[in-house]
Amino acid sequence: MFYWFLKLVAIGPLLRLVFRPRTEGLDHVPGDGPAILACNHLSYADWLFMPATVPRRVTFVAKAEYFTSPGIKGWLQKQFFSGAGQVPIDRGGADAAAGALISAKRVLGQGGLFGIYPEGTRSHDGRLYRGKTGVARLALETGVPVVPTAVVGTDKVAPPGKKFGAVVRPVVRFGAPLDFSRYEGMANDRYILRSVTDEIMYAIMTLSGQEYVDQYAAVAKAAAKQQPGQTGQAGQAGDAGRVGGDSGPASREKKAS
């Protein structure tokens, strides 16, 4: 209930009034039934703009601590994150990744839309980084379609390291659903997981126009901190100044098809 209050009354109308986000390919998002929305990650504002453009509820996983903190502040925090479409990482998993997978499968098992950022963290320079294989494992173990999704311009609304940047018109693009049923029963094959992940990242790259970097975002971010002056917006995505991405997934496009 609180989710729809935030989306339809409190936050959604404000986002549409001030930023006027543009949506492309919304017809690719299923009107019902489970699906994975695999999205690039430019800004903390992504989790506001992408779900705001989808008529259905989109659920993400969040740290369990957001839901278990004591006191009034903890209660308010839990209500906000629950209402904003977040579910806690299941503590029954062997680690955070396994717990996130359990929570995600629960959402999909109930016929919901599950949002995931395959890069694992925000891009610090606007480029698209190597995807982690959790999204592939989730797709293969559940058999649900993956809708590649790209947000463009949110890094201008809320740039890395800043709470607010500029009022621009973000774009949210949805691509045709990807079906990986041909890999049924192969969720434990690490080569298949990598191939599926690369195919998803290639689709996201095509939608976003970002430059691709075949390196994990967390590793690149750590390296950038040790090299001052190298963290600028090297790969700004957007209709104005799109950057091509012919490396990475493009070179391995559908290698396991």
pLDDT in tens, the chain (257 residues): 778 888 888 888 999 999 999 999 999 999 999 999 999 999 989 988 999 999 999 999 876 666 677 788 777 767 766 666 677 776 555 577 888 899 999 999 999 999 999 999 999 999 999 999 999 999 999 999 999 999 999 999 988 777 788 999 999 999 999 999 999 999 999 999 999 999 999 999 999 999 999 999 999 999 988 876 554 444 333 333 333 334 455 444 444 33
- Catalogue the long-range contacts made by 15-19 (C-beta closer than 8 Å, 24 or more residues apart): 15/48, 15/49, 15/52, 16/52, 18/167, 19/49, 19/157, 19/167, 19/168, 19/169, 19/170
Q: How many residues are recorded in the chain? A: 257
Distance CA 19, CA 168 (A): 6
The pLDDT, as a whole number, for residue 249 is: 57
Helices (H), the chain: 2-5, 12-18, 46-52, 65-68, 71-83, 96-109, 134-142, 154-157, 190-208, 217-225
Which residue from 173, 97, 175 is spatially nearest to 136, judged by alpha carbons? Answer: 97
Query: Taking a C-beta distance cutoff of 8 angstroms, is the pair 104, 62 a contact?
Result: no
What does pTM read for this prediction?
0.82
Which residue from 61, 91, 66 is spatially nearest to 78, judged by alpha carbons? Answer: 66
Distance CA 29, CA 53 (A): 11
Distance CA 86, CA 254 (A): 32
The pLDDT, as a whole number, for residue 146 is: 98
The pLDDT, as a whole number, for residue 86 is: 77
The letter for the amino acid at 10 is A
Distance CA 188, CA 143 (A): 14
Beta pairing class for 146-152 and 171-174: antiparallel
Which residue from 74, 40, 56, 254 is spatially nearest to 153, judged by alpha carbons? Answer: 40
Query: Taking a C-beta distance cutoff of 8 angstroms, is the pair 165, 195 a contact?
Result: no
Distance CA 167, CA 159 (A): 12
Beta pairing class for 146-152 and 35-39: parallel
Distance CA 40, CA 126 (A): 10
Which residue from 248, 236, 241 is spatially nearest to 198, judged by alpha carbons? Answer: 248
The pLDDT, as a whole number, for residue 128 is: 98
- Rounded to 10 degrees, the C-alpha dihedral 101/103/109/114 comes to -80
The pLDDT, as a whole number, for residue 255 is: 42
